[in-house]
């Protein structure tokens, strides 16, 4: 489904050197993986025999049984729509190799030997095995067939689904084979492992897997030998992990005494997009002398059936874990403050001028300005907050704005913009009874004019309040709230701003905390139209332009990974199941696409502001798009 493939790691029960028992356990796991819709499943190192056989690996009886078992496993899984990757000792000529066999469609398609052989502490692999470092371009005879054999194999089971293999210690080396495999086009790496468990080793292994998946911009699936290996001198924990470009997608519970599997649905098109646009991946080169990779074609994988094991958060900009969210908010707030402090120092601004409405965006900007003054050891009174009630200002928002300024100790000035706007309506011949775009934008531009002129008068800097979601949609008045002298919220989406304010509320005195929480609870509105007859806000932004949580979701997938609209809609339907139906999602997605394209002219001349995450829309650093580009292809 949309280039998602379901990857699995299996840790089966095992008896050392009992090939028949182990074969049955592997087949049982293969069937379970197939029933769960897996496209590929990887097993631990030497899973047919067990890793801890010692000098039994020199026994022809064991080697012959293992080779025969590998052929039988391939044959027995012929009707299962998945690739199975399992380990065995394989004699090739006068050498024994520790290998991974790749089976699909009833036959073994390729064999990959281990390159780096540990020979320290509890490991003595060089006693039994030879390194596969010189096997590129070779073949091995197995089950009467000549099969590609070597470290130069990349397996292809679909246009996007390409993978490579390394074994255990290979990952721990200075230059892991997976790095070269990734440069050769592999988007997933499967690792058959047999690491022992020592105190804190699992954490190191986890970090290693995640770092390598991030470095290679790939998926990384590791299956480790389980507790039924020999415990003569060490214990194996059966650690299984799936990393997805630096993210932990799945992990099992170690020391499980039953067979267990983990799954993750990985977006391979997303990995491709990340390699194209997010890194210097394309500048890397495979070193001279490294043999070219051989492509091994496999039956086409079907892809994930239902995204059950996919990472598809409703709010991709917001960490789901509370501790991670707090840390993220603290870091973003610090970046905002550092950016503003540098600009204030550079311009020698005497005041920080900010329009405060009692809404989310201006509240966050005011909190940033207050922290900036603290960092610069300047009094909060250097902040000049201006509240400018217009035709739609409500008592709730105005009251919160005033209270917030009092509690933070900033200067507060109020200017009623209605008389000036009425005069302007007269000057341009606009009937104030006509509540159209002109009616709204006159107010927005009047506010910006006041802020700019007060900044001139006080030697100050106008702090912009607009956020990333509004910038993406062009939900601002050109040369009105669109403009400032430094925009502190410009790369923060609306869904995250609530949490940033909430994070400050949690660390504030009760009175300030109460005001901040009420700001969070207030519906988002520009308050440019007169209030309803009952005094309530007549304009609710999300009723007009659509839910911000949907638009932020669209923005993330559209901008970060270039996902096509049909994929975005399907993913959103999955993520927001029970919240929005497909018709509603497509309605707002069309609005998002139209506005994103048509409003680029506003983004082409936005003020400076700090980038806090991987997605930003500055025309100088992050998003270069012509203002007259057509959205027709995307809408179609």
Contact, 319 vs 325, CB < 8 A?
yes
Task: Tell me: do 274 and 344 sit in the same domain.
Answer: no
Lowest-confidence region among 149-153, 276-280, 358-362: 276-280
Confidence of residue 393 (pLDDT cuts 50, 70, 90): confident
How many other CB atoms sit within 10 Å of the CB of residue 433?
7
In this structure, the answer to whether residues 217 and 344 fall within a common structural domain is no
pLDDT of residue 394: 82
Indicate whether 230 belongs to any domain: yes
- 38 and 7 in contact (C-beta within 8 Å)? yes
pLDDT at 14: 97
- Over the stretch 164-211, which tens digit does the pLDDT of each residue have? 999 999 999 999 999 999 999 999 999 999 989 999 999 999 999 999
Lowest-pLDDT choice from 213-217, 242-246, 534-538, 609-613? 534-538
Is the residue at 498 inside a domain? yes
- For range 99-116, the mean pLDDT: 98
Tell me: do 348 and 490 sit in the same domain: yes
Query: In the structure, what pLDDT confidence band is assigned to residue 621 with cuts at 50, 70 and 90?
Result: confident
474 backbone φψ class: left, alpha, beta (φ>0; ψ -120 to 50): left
Mean pLDDT of 531-551: 78
Evaluate if residue 160 carries a pLDDT over 90: yes
Angle between helices 494-506 and 322-347 (to 10 degrees): 90
Name which of 462, 461, 480 is nearest 470 in CA terms. 480
Higher pLDDT, 523 or 336: 336
pLDDT at 539 > cutoff 90: no
DSSP 8-state assignment for residue 474 = T
**Any domain includes 291:** no
Residue 634 above 90 pLDDT? yes
CA distance linking residue 34 with residue 190, whole number of Å: 17
pLDDT at 538: 62
**pLDDT (tens digit per residue) in 557-585:** 999 999 999 999 999 999 999 999 999 99
Shared domain for 448 and 563, answered yes or no, is yes
DSSP string, 21-80: HHHHHHHHHHHHHHHTT-SEEE--TTTTT-TT-GGGGG-HHHHHHHHHHHHHHHHHTTTS
Tally the domains of the chain: 2
Q: Please check whether residue 238 lies inside any domain of the structure.
A: yes
CATH for 234? 3.60.110.10
Residue 604 CB coordination number (10 Å)? 13
Phi first, then psi: give them for residue 630, nearest 5 degrees. -90, 145
| Residue % of the chain over a pLDDT of 70 | 98
CA distance linking residue 155 with residue 147, whole number of Å: 13
Contacts of 232 (CB under 8 A, 6+ apart): 52
List, for residues 27-77, the tens digit of each pLDDT value.
999 999 999 999 999 999 999 999 999 999 999 999 999 999 999 999 999
Please report, for the domain that includes residue 425, its CATH number.
3.40.50.620
Query: Above 70 in pLDDT, residue 532?
Result: no
pLDDT digits (tens, 9 = 90+) for 255-301: 999 999 999 999 999 999 999 987 788 899 999 989 999 999 999 99
What 3-state class would DSSP assign to 553? helix
Distance, first Cα to last Cα, the chain: 20
Same domain, residue pair 263 and 388: no
Q: Residue 397: is its pLDDT beyond 90?
A: no
Q: What is the mean pLDDT of the chain?
A: 95
Are residues 528 and 400 in contact, defined by beta-carbon separation less than 8 angstroms? no
2's tokens: 């949309």
Q: How far is residue 561 from each of residues 380, 555, 565, measured CA to CA in Å? A: 41, 10, 12
Of 262, 279, 296, which residue sits at a domain end?
Answer: 279
* Poorest-pLDDT segment among 129-133, 490-494, 619-623: 619-623
- 299-310 per-position pLDDT tens digit: 999 999 999 999
Asked if residue 183 lies in contact with residue 286, where contact means CB atoms within 8 angstroms, the answer is yes
Neighbours of 376 (CB within 10 A): 14
| pLDDT value at residue 530 | 83
The pLDDT of residue 301 is 97
Are 490 and 548 contained in the same domain?
yes
What is the model's pLDDT at position 121?
Answer: 67
Q: Quick one: pLDDT band at residue 535, thresholds 50, 70, 90?
A: low
Residue tagged 């507790």 (tokens) = 227
- Residue 468: inside a domain: yes
The pair of three-digit structure tokens given for residue 255, joined into one six-digit string: 């020391």
Same domain, 129 and 230: yes
Rounded-to-integer distance, Cα 253 and Cα 488, Å = 43
* CA–CA distance, 278 with 283 (Å, rounded to integer): 12
Domain membership of residue 564 (yes or no) is: yes
* Residues with catalytic roles: 45, 114, 168
Q: Which pairing describes strands 460-464 and 486-487: parallel, antiparallel, or unpaired? A: parallel
**Closest to 169 (Cα-Cα) out of 144, 200, 196, 142:** 196
pLDDT classification of 370: cutoffs 50, 70, 90: very high
Which pLDDT value is given to residue 524? Answer: 81
Which secondary-structure segment (H or E) carries 328? helix 322-347
The residue-averaged pLDDT of 387-391 equals 94
| Percent over 90 (pLDDT), the chain | 91
Q: Domain span at residue 71?
A: 4-279
Query: Does 515 map to a domain?
Result: yes
Average pLDDT over residues 510-528: 89
Residue 354 and residue 231 share a domain: no
50 and 166, same structural domain?
yes
Domain boundary among 244, 279, 314: 279
pTM beyond 0.85: the answer is: yes
**Which secondary-structure segment (H or E) carries 510?**
helix 510-521
Domain boundary among 261, 279, 297: 279
Question: Over the stretch 443-471, which tens digit does the pLDDT of each residue have?
Answer: 999 999 999 999 999 999 999 999 999 99
Q: What is the pLDDT of residue 53?
A: 96
**Left if phi > 0, otherwise alpha if psi is -120 to 50, otherwise beta: which for 46?**
left
What per-residue confidence (pLDDT) applies to 537?
62
Rg (CA), the chain: 30
- Between CA 309 and CA 217 the distance in angstroms is 19
**Are residues 352 and 246 part of one domain?**
no
Query: pLDDT band at 534, cuts 50/70/90?
Result: low
- What is the reported pLDDT for 473? 97
Inter-CA distances, 236 with 164, 199, 612, Å: 25, 12, 42
| Contact present, 381 and 491 (Cβ < 8 Å) | no
In a domain, 229, yes or no: yes
- Is residue 223 predicted with pLDDT exceeding 80? yes
One domain, residues 236 and 381: no
Q: Comparing 368 with 532, which gets the higher pLDDT?
A: 368
On whether both 274 and 418 belong to a single domain, the answer is no
């Amino acid at each position: 489904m949309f280039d998602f493939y379901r990857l699995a790691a299996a840790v089966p029960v095992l008896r050392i050197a009992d090939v028949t028992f182990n074969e049955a356990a592997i087949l049982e796991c293969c069937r379970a993986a197939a029933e769960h819709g897996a496209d590929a499943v990887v097993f631990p190192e030497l899973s047919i025999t067990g890793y801890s056989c010692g000098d039994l690996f020199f026994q022809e009886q064991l080697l012959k049984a293992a080779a025969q078992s590998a052929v039988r496993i391939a044959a027995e899984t012929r009707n299962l729509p998945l690739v199975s990757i399992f380990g065995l000792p394989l004699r090739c000529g006068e050498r024994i190799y520790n290998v991974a066999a790749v089976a699909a469609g009833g036959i073994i398609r390729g064999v990959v030997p281990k390159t780096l052989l540990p020979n320290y502490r509890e490991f003595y692999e060089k006693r039994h095995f030879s390194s596969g470092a010189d096997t590129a371009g070779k073949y091995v005879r197995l089950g009467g067939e000549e099969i590609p054999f070597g470290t130069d194999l990349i397996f292809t089971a679909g246009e996007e689904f390409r993978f490579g293999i390394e074994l255990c210690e290979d990952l721990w080396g200075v230059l892991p084979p997976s790095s070269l495999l990734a440069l050769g086009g592999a988007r997933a790496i499967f690792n058959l492992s047999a690491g022992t468990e020592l105190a804190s080793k699992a954490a190191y292994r986890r970090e290693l897997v995640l770092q390598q998946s991030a470095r290679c911009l790939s998926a990384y699936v590791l299956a480790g030998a389980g507790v039924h290996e020999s415990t003569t001198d060490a214990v194996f924990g059966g650690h299984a992990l799936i990393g997805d470009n630096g993210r932990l997608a799945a992990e099992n519970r170690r020391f499980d005494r039953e067979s267990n599997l983990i799954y993750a649905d990985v977006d391979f098109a997303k990995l491709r997009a990340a390699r194209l646009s997010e890194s210097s991946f394309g500048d890397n080169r495979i070193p001279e002398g490294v043999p070219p990779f051989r492509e091994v074609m496999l039956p086409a994988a079907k892809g994930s059936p239902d995204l059950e094991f996919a990472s598809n958060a409703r709010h991709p900009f917001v960490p789901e874990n509370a501790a991670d969210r707090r840390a993220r908010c603290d870091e973003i707030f610090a970046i905002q403050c550092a950016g503003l402090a540098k600009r204030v120092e550079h311009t020698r601004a005497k005041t920080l001028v900010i329009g405060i409405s009692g809404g989310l965006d201006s509240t966050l900007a005011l909190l940033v300005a207050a922290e900036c003054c603290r960092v610069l050891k300047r009094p909060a009174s250097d902040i000049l907050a201006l509240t400018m009630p217009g035709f739609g200002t409500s008592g709730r928002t105005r009251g919160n704005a005033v209270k917030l300024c009092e509690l933070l100790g900033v200067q507060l000035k109020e200017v009623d913009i209605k008389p000036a706007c009425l005069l302007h309506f007269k000057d341009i011949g606009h009937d104030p009874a006509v509540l159209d775009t002109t009616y709204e934008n006159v107010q927005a531009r009047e506010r910006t004019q006041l802020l700019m002129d007060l900044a001139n008068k006080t030697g100050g800097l106008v702090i912009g309040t607009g956020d990333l979601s509004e910038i993406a949609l062009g939900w601002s008045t050109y040369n009105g709230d669109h403009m400032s002298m430094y925009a502190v919220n410009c790369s923060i989406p609306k869904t995250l701003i609530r949490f940033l304010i909430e994070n400050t509320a949690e660390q504030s005195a009760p009175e300030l905390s109460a005001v901040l929480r009420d700001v969070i609870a207030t519906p988002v509105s520009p308050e440019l139209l007169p209030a309803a007859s009952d005094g309530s806000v007549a304009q609710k932004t999300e009723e007009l332009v659509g839910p911000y949580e949907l638009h932020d979701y669209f923005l993330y997938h559209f901008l970060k990974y270039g996902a096509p609209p049909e994929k975005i809609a399907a993913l959103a339907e999955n993520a927001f199941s029970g919240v929005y139906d497909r018709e509603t999602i497509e309605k707002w997605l069309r609005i998002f696409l139209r506005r994103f394209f048509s409003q680029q002219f506003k983004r082409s001349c936005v003020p400076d502001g700090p980038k806090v995450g991987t997605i930003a829309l500055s025309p100088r650093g992050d998003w270069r798009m012509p203002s007259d580009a057509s959205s027709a292809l995307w809408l179609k």
